[in-house]
Amino acid sequence: MNKLPDFKPVTREELRAIWARYPDPEVRRLTLEIERYKRVMSEVDRLYRVIHQSWRETTGGNLTALHVLQGIMLHERERAEL
């Protein structure tokens, strides 16, 4: 898969403005897809925290895959807040 160029993420305010400005069904479908992605990422982040806490309480230490996932989630959160 080709790497995407760097770009500024779309904010929720910008997404709402695009939705209002462009009634075209394809544009609206794309805005819904972006909003869905943002919600899915929030849920994945929440589930990560639940799994990580459970792992630490039952097993102790860190699970490598969770540590990698945490890094990915942190990067995505930071990007979304730009």
Q: Give residue-wise pLDDT tens across range 2-41.
A: 898 998 889 999 999 999 999 999 999 999 999 998 898 8
**6 occurs within a structural domain:** no
Does 4 map to a domain?
no
Q: Which amino acid is at 35?
A: E
Quickly list DSSP for 3-56: PPPP-PPPPHHHHHHHHHH---HHHHHHHHHHHHHHHHHHHHHHHHHHHHHHHH
Q: Is 41 exposed, middle or buried (0-12, 13-18, 19+ CB in 10 A)?
A: middle
Domain that holds residue 68: 12-80
- Count: domains in the chain: 1
pLDDT greater at residue 65 or residue 15: 15
Residue 3 lies in a domain: no
- Domain membership of residue 1 (yes or no) is no
What is the pTM assigned to this prediction? 0.72
Query: What average pLDDT does the segment 49-72 reach?
Result: 87
